[in-house]
Amino acid sequence: MSDLKELQERLSELAIGTYKVDRAKFLEVLIGTNAGTINEKTYGQFFGDIQDILWSYRVLMIARLFEGKQKGYSKHTLKEFFECWRKVNTSTKPDNITPLIEYCSLKNISVENADVVEVTIDALESSYNQHVSKSEDGGGLAEKFIFLRNKEVAHNEMIDSKNLPTHKFEEVTVLMAFVKLVVSLVGMAYFRTYYSDQSGNFFMENDAFRSSICLSRLLEAASVIDDYKLAIRRVKSITSSDN
């Protein structure tokens, strides 16, 4: 497999990862915003279990995207993606360098007399390191999810869950926005594939919303909610306000 082909496959895996996290997030919000009527209709136990499963799945996916390189086998992580990208840059330059230049300009990073690709990777890796490093100043968000994966999901018998850190949907949005940025930049620069528009709207979010639309229609059919379209608008309003 060529280095460029490997980069494309890794890019696709990152994009799918964002889709899976968004899908779980939208479903969680839909269930949570209708918890009152769900409980009144005596479906609380079932949907509570579904929420637990979605929570664990979301934590697993975020941890996988942000964890470090593992010995012995390859995983579709950001760390390995950056390594693959650097390898590609030694032999293949992007067809469309403009998105990378615009990103550097937005970050006030000079690219004069510099390798734009290397400068961009350095900047993105710096942001990645801030997400995975432990800190007390708002950084290290991804490290929190890796910790939760290790202690609550993988080895939940080893620790009292009361002592585990909590997280907010806003933190999920911050981390996924970073992954989506990486996917969008590389997709445009190397493969002429547009994952987002000029306003930063990630196209795959619409696909991730389909399961929530299906569930809301089922809830309406079961007389749990009166208007599935209203329920969907509420979910979109809540999740978009995270940004």
Q: Which amino acid is at 160?
A: D
Is the pLDDT score of 36 beyond 70?
yes
State the DSSP code for 151: I
* Tokens 């209203």 sit on residue: 230
Q: Which amino acid is at 241?
A: S
pLDDT at 178: 96
pLDDT in tens, 176-197: 999 999 999 999 999 999 999 9
pLDDT in tens, 108-132: 999 888 899 999 999 999 999 998 8
For residue 169, name the pLDDT band (cuts at 50, 70, 90). confident
For the four alpha carbons of 216, 217, 220 and 222, in that order, the dihedral sign comes to: negative
**HSE of 120 in the Cβ direction (CA atoms, 13 Å)?**
25
Query: DSSP letter string over 173-205?
Result: HHHHHHHHHHHHHHHHHHH---SB-TT--BTHH
For residues 79-106, give the mean pLDDT.
Answer: 94
More confident residue, 149 or 53: 53
Which letter, b or e, does each residue of 63-80 get, where b requires 16 or more Cβ atoms within 10 Å of its Cβ?
bbbbbeeeeeeeebbbbb
pLDDT in tens, 200-215: 889 999 999 999 999 9
Is the pLDDT score of 225 beyond 90?
yes
* Tokens 């620069």 sit on residue: 189
More confident residue, 18 or 165: 18
- Distance from C-alpha of 25 to C-alpha of 240, rounded to nearest angstrom: 12
More confident residue, 157 or 41: 41
For residue 70, name the pLDDT band (cuts at 50, 70, 90). low
* Tokens 């993606």 sit on residue: 81
For residues 23-50, give the mean pLDDT.
Answer: 96
Percentage of the chain exceeding pLDDT 90: 70
Percentage of the chain exceeding pLDDT 70: 88
- Distance from C-alpha of 187 to C-alpha of 197, rounded to nearest angstrom: 12
For residues 14-30, give the mean pLDDT.
Answer: 96
- Distance from C-alpha of 140 to C-alpha of 143, rounded to nearest angstrom: 5
For residues 75-81, give the mean pLDDT.
Answer: 88
Is the pLDDT score of 161 beyond 90?
no
pLDDT at 146: 86
State the DSSP code for 26: H
- Domain locations in the chain? 3-240
pLDDT at 71: 62
Q: In 41-139, where does DSSP find H-type helix?
A: 44-66, 78-89, 98-106, 116-132
Q: Which amino acid is at 49?
A: D
- Distance from C-alpha of 183 to C-alpha of 10, rounded to nearest angstrom: 10
Residues 58, 172: contact at Cβ < 8 Å? yes
